[in-house]
């Protein structure tokens, strides 16, 4: 009995000494980091990570599969940019099928003109800034393989899914090149964040997604130069959030309002996703809260 009591006393003394030592050395100075209030967001799903090491900083239904809208186009761009011997200045002739597609789907578009020759680089800007589904179609047709357009598109979507698997993503599947899915186009906040983080390793991708406005000069059927109307980036964070560097908006009847976002401050990059927010304004508000929280967590 005395032995047990003595052991308890010794343990209590040891704890007191340890606590005193921590106070003396300032080891508890890190405690305020935990005191950062976890934000409340309207989006149904959210995820934020430290881009340097992939450490999670915030999760809200981070692994729940949801429709992704045009955030799908991050993978479209990634697949294009990972093609071997890619020539960004290669020209693609705009087909009537691309124009008919966006009209039939009432989809967001880059207003590409049938018969114009547009470079791959320009198509990537048209894909990521105004979220052009016509640009997405043109890229899928160009970089898929097969003798028919349908076969090439199917092949390209296959590459999107192969890339998702190569990144170890188990909750992501694509059945479209632009997010206008056929019932099985889904991902999660965590997976989309990982796709974006991977895409951001490409310098061309980084340059495109932080661009607020871009004006393409295309070549017409007759060989003259057409100056297109300026494409404006749909990601309002580029103007409203200090240090914002991308990435992509998305929306749709099922997807609601989505945003994959990233910002760099003091040499630290925070990257994340919100899915199924309630409006274009709210998704930016949600992302702002999560970026602020992420940077506060990183200190």
Active site (catalytic) residues:
70, 73, 131
Tokens of 4: 């047990």
Cα distance between residue 71 and residue 136, in whole Å:
12
Helices (H) and strands (E) in the chain, counts: 10, 13
d(CA 47, CA 191): 9
143: its two tokens: 């970089």
Rg (C-alpha) for the chain, rounded Å, is: 24
Q: Which residues of 157-183 are buried (b: 16+ CB within 10 A; e: fewer)?
A: bebbbebbeeeebebbbbbbbbbbbee
Burial 28-39 (b: 16+ CB within 10 A, else e): eeeeeeeeeeeb
DSSP state of 58: E
Backbone angles phi, psi at 256, to 5 degrees: 60, -130
């Amino acid at each position: 009995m005395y032995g047990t009591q003595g052991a308890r006393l010794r343990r209590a003394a040891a704890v007191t000494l340890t606590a005193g030592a921590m106070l003396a050395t300032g080891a508890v100075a890190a405690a305020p980091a935990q005191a950062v209030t976890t934000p409340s967001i309207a989006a149904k799903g959210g995820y934020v990570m430290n881009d340097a090491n992939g450490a999670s900083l915030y999760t809200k239904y981070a692994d729940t599969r949801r429709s992704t809208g045009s955030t799908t186009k991050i993978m479209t761009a990634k697949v294009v940019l990972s093609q071997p011997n890619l020539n960004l200045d290669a020209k693609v002739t705009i087909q009537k099928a691309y124009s008919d597609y966006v009209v039939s789907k009432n989809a967001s578009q880059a207003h590409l003109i049938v018969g114009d020759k547009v470079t791959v680089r320009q198509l990537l800007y048209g894909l990521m800034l105004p979220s052009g589904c016509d640009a997405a179609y043109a890229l899928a047709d160009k970089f898929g393989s097969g003798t028919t357009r349908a076969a090439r598109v199917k092949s390209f979507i296959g590459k999107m899914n192969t890339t998702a698997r190569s990144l170890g993503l188990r909750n992501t599947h694509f059945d479209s090149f632009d997010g206008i899915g056929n019932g099985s186009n889904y991902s999660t906040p965590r997976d989309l964040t990982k796709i974006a983080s991977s895409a951001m390793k490409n310098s061309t991708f980084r340059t495109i997604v932080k661009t607020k406005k871009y004006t393409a000069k295309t070549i017409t059927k007759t060989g003259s130069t057409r100056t297109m109307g300026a494409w404006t980036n749909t990601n309002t964070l580029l103007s409203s959030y200090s240090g914002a560097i991308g990435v992509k908006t998305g929306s749709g009847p099922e997807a609601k309002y989505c945003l994959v976002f990233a910002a760099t401050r003091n040499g630290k990059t925070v990257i994340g996703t919100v899915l199924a927010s309630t409006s274009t304004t709210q998704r930016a508000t949600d992302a702002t809260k999560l970026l602020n929280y992420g940077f506060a967590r990183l200190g």
